[in-house]
Amino acid sequence: MVDVGAKSHTERSATAEGFIRMQPAVLEMIASGSHKKGDVFAVARIAGIQAAKKTSDLIPLCHPLMLTSIKVELEAEPDQSRVRIQATCKLAGQTGVEMEALTACSVAALTLYDMCKAVDKGMVIEQVQLLEKKGGKSGHYQHDSQSNNPSESK
């Protein structure tokens, strides 16, 4: 692991997003709450939160962090037959929280897949990416969604 001991404690946050595409009927089942396994969004949200907290157990050389906030949001996008997942993690510390946000987003998507695979094995998890990162020495990063290219500002 990289030694972050000399870094100053700063407020840091990171937001990631991803999507899971599925058959329209499956999305309707999830959105209406009629899935026989229960509230798919609630289970995926909790899974994402747990995953953010366990990121250092899953990703080699990732620092264990004392997160102060984890937010996982799921939104049905019927016009595109997909669910948008957005995860934001925050802390006051010496290293960033990008991996925690990306892990939360990824595991929430995997949980959706697991809960719905019996009715749609063709679901696709796609476009998991960092949207924004704030704090620390490297400053502010924001993904430019218009051109699909990152931009950085300090």
Residues marked active site are found at 114
Single out the residue of 110, 8, 144, 1 nearest to residue 61, CA to CA: 1
CB 8 within 8 A of CB 80: no
Q: What is the DSSP string of 55-102?
A: HHHHSTTPPP---SEEEEEEEEEGGGTEEEEEEEEEEEESS--HHHHH
Q: Which two tokens stand for residue 58?
A: 């899953």
d(CA 4, CA 153): 22
